[in-house]
Structure 1
Amino acid sequence: MHRYLISKDEIPFVMNKFNRSLWLSLLVFPFVLTIIFLPLYFILYFINMIVLKEYFDNQSILTYYVIGIIAIVIINFLYGKIILGHKIRNGKIYKVQERFFIKKKDTYTYTSETVSNSDYFRLYLIGEDKEEKGIYISKEDYKRINEKTSIILVYFEIVDIPIEGFYEDEKLDFFRFFVVKKMKHFVRQLTYWR
């Protein structure tokens, strides 16, 4: 693994990509949190109904639920904008060139009633530091890549912005990261500011 601090020329590119994904997360994150915390809402609702004999008004439980989700979204946005944005502007993000071993290949098809089928080609990777990552790749690259071999990826650390990838000295058409171990990724993002 080779790590280099990003150059002054790369800062605007990284900042632009990061800001775009940060604003997108501001739109998507509330829906994700709503689904994740829905069981918690129902648990609190039934505890209030059965154990507390409706001590709290059901409307107030829903209000706290919505306010909690909005607060988490705002904290996430501010953390990204202030902490990570500061790191990027000061050039304290690393450009990483790392060799990954291909653990598994996978495909799946997303079918929708209104649009045609979408095929996705994924690789599950293990880095030199035993960290697991996943990437989406093109169909052509998927056909020529074999499991139990290695691939070299160049990307910006912590913000996971891909630059280029190589398999057997041939450049990949494209790659895009996806999170494999969500909790480990979440903890890594939170503890990065140290």
Structure 2
Amino acid sequence: MASNLTWHEASITKHERREKQKHHSFILWFTGLSGSGKSTIANQLAKALFQKGIHTYVLDGDNIRHGLNKDLSFSDEDRKENIRRIGEVSKLFVDSGQVVITAFISPFQEDRDQVRELLDENEFVEVYIECPIDVCEERDPKGLYQKARSGEINGFTGIDAPYEPPVNPEITLNTAHKSVDECVKALITFLEKKKWV
């Protein structure tokens, strides 16, 4: 980092933004294998919260790689950088008083923990979208598992690259047994109990 940088404090605080918007701001960090349902649940939840007057935004893994992170590969090093950047962007959303819902495989616990450390207490919720790999492969909405099995894609999470399930997530949703609607309801109940929405 350059030594001639100075941090400028915002004229409007995070607390003031939350008061104006009448809700808490935080990250719901969805992690899970490709095909587990992260993006689908994230977008349905965002819609449900939006209808309740909650300011939300979804950051989706594929969408981010079309722009902000289009310069990154899928090497372990670039995957870490991908998550680091998303963590910083997510923190900005939290500071702006919004609820940010992220949908990233984010295979490494260390990277998810580093994002958590960027935030204040009660601003990061790790949501494990749990789904057995055979069910994810059966769904294979993007045809990626088939390509990975045939050798067209190397370093694919769950096939020839590791995935580290969360050690102690705030909430786990098993999408092999729960519908999208059931998952969204469970998340809203979780947030209402915390009085965040």
Q: TM-score band (shorter)?
A: under 0.3
Higher strand share: 1
Q: Larger relative CO (CA 8 A, sep 6+): 1 or 2?
A: 2
Over alpha carbons, which structure has the higher Rg? 1
